[in-house]
Every structure is written in C-alpha cells, then in structure tokens.
Amino acid sequence: MNRVIITNDFEKVLQEIEANEVVLKEEFKVEDVEELKKKAFIAEKDKKIILIAAKKYNIYAQNALLKLLEESPKNVEFILLSDSKYKLLDTVLSRLVLEKRIFEKTQTFNKIENITNDFIFDTLQKELSKEEIIGLLKELLKKADNEEQLKIINDALLMLELNIDKKAILSMLFLAFKERK
C-alpha cells in the first residue's frame, strides 16, 4: 500500500523505516522519476520499500510519478515524505494513504546567559518551529527586567499567532534583549 508521510523530522522517519531504496532530494524532478522506475522494476521475491524524501516535489515529476503509483510493480511499496500535504498534487494524494508523524523538537533553550552577536547569528540560522520560539520566549521572560521587554515578548506571541515571519520576530526580540556593551 503506497503512502505519504507528512512529518517535521525527515531524519527520524528515515531511521524508523527500513527501506530497500531511499531517494533523498532537495527537489524531486522528472529525471528522478526515471531513475525511480529503474529501481522499482528490479524484481525481488520479498516486499520492496522505496522511500522518496524531498523538500519540494516538482509538478512535472508528480505527474510522471502518478502512473508509477497507479500501477506499482508487484511487491513494491512507495513511501513519500513531505513536510506538508499541500506540496503534493491532489491527484497524487488521492493515490496514497496519508499518515502524519509530527515529533516534538528536542531543541530547547536552556537558561540564556548572554544574547551576543554569535548567539543571534546561530539562532537565526536555524529553522525554529513555533513551539521552539515559544520556549525561547519563556526563557526571555525570565530575563525581562522592564515593561518594554515584557511588551515585546507579548507582541512576539501575538505575531507568532498571526504567522508573521519567524526570523523577523526573533530579530526584534534579540534587539530588545541584546547585551549592551
């Protein structure tokens, strides 16, 4: 049974699933489908799992993949990984069983001593989830020592709820809390 797994942690799912073939791509393209067909039609006696993990699925590649999903070779199961079902065409989704595996991120902000330029740079390089930013806000709340900083934390929470760019929110926070030297 072919399926798509929506996840926020590709690496964890890749470790959990024992796939015979793994296709890891930043963007899954038409030429990748051709390579996939070659792998899929190599006959095996036992069940064969082919896992495709991509941050982006090219629309032409998805259309090319449709026929392979509709008429999968015997004993072959395809598993697609995506971080959002909206990155896949409805026609592709209709041929797959949808499964969600959302993991709580282990990235936490333990006691923040100093907000230095290095700390700001390192943090802005990461793709933090909403939950991780809320954890950061809780730590900053402990550091807040005036009304202005409390208001900025409150504003940041509101901005998160409005889905404003996370890096813009973090930049605003860090400017308010940066150590003045």
User: In terms of Cα–Cα distance, which of 93, 99, 77 is closest to 18?
Assistant: 77
31-35, 123-127, 170-174: range with highest mean pLDDT: 31-35
Second CATH level (architecture) for the domain 3-101 = 3-Layer(aba) Sandwich (3.40)
Q: Are 54 and 26 in contact (CB under 8 A)?
A: yes
Confidence at 176, pLDDT banded by 50, 70, 90: confident
Q: Are 29 and 57 in contact (CB under 8 A)?
A: no
For the chain, what is the mean pLDDT?
Answer: 89
Give the residue extent of every domain in the chain. Answer: 3-101, 117-177
User: In terms of Cα–Cα distance, which of 62, 106, 76, 84 is closest to 5?
Assistant: 84
- List pLDDT tens digits, range 77-105: 999 999 999 999 999 999 999 999 988 75
- List pLDDT tens digits, range 41-67: 987 889 999 999 999 999 999 999 999
For the whole model, what pTM was predicted?
0.60
Confidence at 109, pLDDT banded by 50, 70, 90: low
* DSSP calls for 3-18: EEEEES-HHHHHHHS-
Q: Are 115 and 179 in contact (CB under 8 A)?
A: yes
Asked whether residue 108 carries a pLDDT value surpassing 60, the answer given is no
> Residue 45 has which token pair?
């006696």
Quote the pLDDT of residue 111.
Answer: 64
Percent of the chain surpassing pLDDT 90 = 60
Decide: residue 123, CB within 10 A, 0-12 exposed, 13-18 middle, 19+ buried.
buried
Decide: residue 51, CB within 10 A, 0-12 exposed, 13-18 middle, 19+ buried.
buried
Decide: residue 171, CB within 10 A, 0-12 exposed, 13-18 middle, 19+ buried.
middle
Confidence at 135, pLDDT banded by 50, 70, 90: confident
Asked whether residue 159 carries a pLDDT value surpassing 70, the answer given is yes
